[in-house]
Structure 1
Amino acid sequence: MLENRSCWCRPLPLPPFSPLVAALPETVPFVGPEALERRSGITIRARLGANESGFGPSPRVIAALSEAGADAWRYPDPENHDLRYALGAHLGIPAHAVMPGEGIDGLLSLAVRLFIAPGDVVVTSLGAYPTFNYHVTGFGGVLQFVPYAGHHEDLDQLAAEVRRSKARMVYLANPDNPMGSHWPAPAIAAFIASVPEGCIILLDEAYGETAPDGTLPAIDLDQPNLIRFRTFSKAYGLAGMRLGYAFGHPTLIGGFNRVRNHFGITRPGQAAAIAALGDRPYLESAIAAIGRSRESIAAIARANGLEALPSATNFVTIDCGGDGDFAARVLAELAQRAVFIRKPMAPGLDRHIRVSAAPDAELELFADALPQALRAAYEPG
């Protein structure tokens, strides 16, 4: 009978990661409400931190998901044919100029993979969307940051930094997250024209549906270095489905087929997106509800002596009137009261908190908790 000698053996050496990956930390760009609940044992009652839509998706989407569920045993169409044609019709452009993907996050990762080699310079704003930075470092890019100009991303300085650093890529969100500000279409068009053609422009329009008229530039598929991104996560109420799309010059968009996960969008996801596009009245009602919610959040801020910034998004950024440490205490105190929000982290922006639009019941919880959180934050300990 053989002896069990497993306890005598030395552990086998683990295979090494690539040098690039070995130098990266294990990280998740966002702390989710689920993680807060696990850590604190407090059940979140007002989910106001992730810019989801508590107003939910169209009833047509719910029906489409129910119907598609019976066919979940089938692989999805790897070409996303029907969805691409629906998106093309929605935008008024050919289907081959559109690429659906697993939310804007997944598409940003693919765009960085397509164009950024280790050592290439990528320009973005200091405090802008952190998941983009995560993808750049993951593929070996070198980030160069441009500070905000007040509450806006600084278009002139972004373009100047691209020219100075000979950047391969620049990222801009309009409307902006985390400040909720926006630039009108002529300013964005001037920015695009000022960026050298050798630099890829990633224009994130996740909040385009909730922005004022005249925010989004006209679509120009002949622009050789521009990729625009939009999502179903915000106004359409489908954040949990992970659905977004990119569009631009057909040659750039065709590049995604070189690297994408061809089964990345599920069969129910494709059906949900097509149904969402087909219910314009519901989208308009959701946008109106978001607008009313923004007004309510601003009123709550004013009632507590705080300044709410103008918003073109589905959230409102609030100046807490102190420094970043004070705003962090407000955020923590709200979490203790079962209200989940987030805040900007970059210097100069970190004195703010950010509150997502939501139905009245959740905003009432926020209105009750905010004055308590402010008092506790003023008197820590």
Structure 2
Amino acid sequence: MGAFDQVAHGAIDHAECAALGIAPEQVTDFSSNLNPFGPPSSVRAALSALDPAPYPDRSCLRLRMRLAHLHGCEPDRILVGNGANELIHLIAHTLARPHATALVIAPAYGEYEHASRLHQMQIVEVRTQPEDGFRCDITTLSAAIRRINPRLTWLCAPNNPTGVSVEPAAICDLARLCADCDGFLVVDRAYHAFQRGLRDLRDPLDEGSPPNLIRLYSLTKSYALAGLRLGYLIAHPAIVASIGRFQPAWSVNSAAQAAGLAALADTAFLPATLPQVWSASDDLETGLRRLGLKVWRAALPFMLVHCSNGAAVRMRLLQHGCVVRDCASFGLPEWVRVAPRQPEENARLIDAWKEIV
């Protein structure tokens, strides 16, 4: 990837649909890792009541106070952004050094590398492998950190696209290793709440994280708010202040803030819907395996499906009204990523796949 190349993403591509003569509203999106049972009704009510005339609160004070209560920290440790994507780029803008090293634990979200390259960093990957169950070998990773002294280390845990997680204690150990070389560990926790069987949605990393650990969270995944763009980071107050200096004023609009507050106030939503997400995932995985497909699923409800050519399978499914995520941009060209949706939609995908196998 070059510094100015576009990063591949999931979701329905309206320009692609137009070129193919496909109506986007006729396509079911299995490429986006969202809660298919959201957003909460309270969010729709909050948006309906919103007055769009006033400027938004540029400090996101109420939302930061609510998030601080959730994570057991002070509001000055939280920066709210226009999606986690904005925060990834703000982190790189603030902390990158030209010609320093950015270490990416891959496969991973492409914006980590992209944001680092934009600031003239050298990219080094430590890749997990399918034959090892995409497991992140902490010993190997620790040795790499000691050897290359990265300024920024990017870790997605639980991982997108593999779903494999890393123990909180290991994350803290890695952060301390990064500190020894004056580096920062950025851990993307966007999918933390989706892990199966969580009895407490609070993050274990809330307790005693090292000061050079920066944690990224998204409210768009588990609450299905992707169209509003809403994420936040948690870090040491000095790091938050430094990153915040580069954030444009009014970056987070009033609709996103209102939706975030409404979603967080609805404490029954995630406990009610996450078991439904996992039930849908179980059924979808079973249906795909019955077609003779090789399926990989770990700690998250989305899954990888092995095929001879991921891009070709994606296109053929799109022509049947279903879009999945071609994983070539993750360095996995023989896989596609599939996120579960509601049962009747999952059945539609199974029927479409029957037509192409």
Same fold (TM over 0.5): yes
Q: What's 2:356 paired with?
A: 373
In structure 2, how many angstroms separate the alpha carbons of the residues matched to 1:314 and 1:138? Answer: 32
Aligned length: 346
In structure 2, how many angstroms separate the alpha carbons of the residues matched to 1:131 and 1:252? Answer: 20
Q: What's 2:186 paired with?
A: 202
Deviations along 1:287-313, one digit per CA (max 9) or x if unpaired, are 122111211221122111123223322
Q: Does 1:183 align with 2:160?
A: no
Counterpart selection for 1:242 from 216, 220, 229: 229
Deviations along 1:242-298, one digit per CA (max 9) or x if unpaired, are 000100212112222211122011111111101110101112222122111211221
Q: What's 1:355 paired with?
A: 338
Counterpart selection for 1:61 from 34, 43, 47: 43
Q: What's 1:254 paired with?
A: 241
Q: Which runs of 5+ in 1 are unaligned?
A: 1-22, 375-381
Shift of 1:127: 2.6
Shift of 1:36: 2.7
Deviations along 1:206-236, one digit per CA (max 9) or x if unpaired, are 1000114499533245612100011111111
Correspondence list, 1:230-309, <5 A: 230-309=217-296
Q: What's 2:34 paired with?
A: 52
Shift of 1:314: 4.0
The answer to whether the Cα contact below 8 Å between 2:176 and 2:210 also exists between their aligned partners in 1 is no
In structure 2, how many angstroms separate the alpha carbons of the residues matched to 1:117 and 1:55? Answer: 42
Residue type of the alignment partner of 1:126? A
Correspondence list, 1:1-381, <5 A: 24-30=3-9, 32-33=11-12, 34-43=14-23, 44-68=26-50, 71-149=51-129, 150=132, 151-197=134-180, 198-212=182-196, 213=198, 216-220=203-207, 223-320=210-307, 322=308, 326-345=309-328, 349-374=332-357
Q: Which runs of 5+ in 2 are unaligned?
A: none
In structure 2, how many angstroms separate the alpha carbons of the residues matched to 1:345 and 1:173? Answer: 18
- 1:29–1:56 distance in 2 versus 1, CA, 3 Å: same
Shift of 1:116: 0.4
Deviations along 1:138-192, one digit per CA (max 9) or x if unpaired, are 2222111111143234433333222212210100011100112222333333333
Bigger-Rg structure (1/2): 1
Task: Give the secondary structure class of the aligned counterpart of 1:53.
Answer: coil
In structure 1, how many angstroms separate the alpha carbons of the residues matched to 2:346 and 2:226? Answer: 20
The answer to whether the Cα contact below 8 Å between 1:175 and 1:312 also exists between their aligned partners in 2 is yes
TM-score (structure 2 length as normaliser): 0.90
Shift of 1:110: 0.5
Q: CA RMSD in A?
A: 2.1
Residue type of the alignment partner of 2:293? L
Shift of 1:318: 2.0
The answer to whether the Cα contact below 8 Å between 1:175 and 1:181 also exists between their aligned partners in 2 is yes
Shift of 1:328: 2.7
| Segments ≥4 residues shifted beyond 6 Å | none
Task: Give the secondary structure class of the aligned counterpart of 1:284.
Answer: helix
Residue type of the alignment partner of 2:65? Y
In structure 1, how many angstroms separate the alpha carbons of the residues matched to 2:164 and 2:285? Answer: 14
In structure 2, how many angstroms separate the alpha carbons of the residues matched to 1:367 and 1:52? Answer: 19
- 1:309–1:264 distance in 2 versus 1, CA, 3 Å: same
Q: What's 1:7 paired with?
A: none
Q: What's 1:18 paired with?
A: none
TM-score (structure 1 length as normaliser): 0.85
In structure 2, how many angstroms separate the alpha carbons of the residues matched to 1:158 and 1:351? Answer: 25
In structure 2, how many angstroms separate the alpha carbons of the residues matched to 1:172 and 1:309? Answer: 20
The answer to whether the Cα contact below 8 Å between 2:56 and 2:254 also exists between their aligned partners in 1 is yes
Residue type of the alignment partner of 1:370? W
Residue type of the alignment partner of 2:20? S
In structure 1, how many angstroms separate the alpha carbons of the residues matched to 2:327 and 2:283? Answer: 21
In structure 2, how many angstroms separate the alpha carbons of the residues matched to 1:240 and 1:54? Answer: 14
Shift of 1:356: 1.0
In structure 1, how many angstroms separate the alpha carbons of the residues matched to 2:174 and 2:47? Answer: 40
- 1:240–1:339 distance in 2 versus 1, CA, 3 Å: same
In structure 1, how many angstroms separate the alpha carbons of the residues matched to 2:237 and 2:109? Answer: 26
In structure 2, how many angstroms separate the alpha carbons of the residues matched to 1:224 and 1:303? Answer: 48
- 1:257–1:126 distance in 2 versus 1, CA, 3 Å: closer
Residue type of the alignment partner of 1:46? T
In terms of mean alpha carbon deviation, does 218-227 or 331-340 score higher?
Answer: 218-227
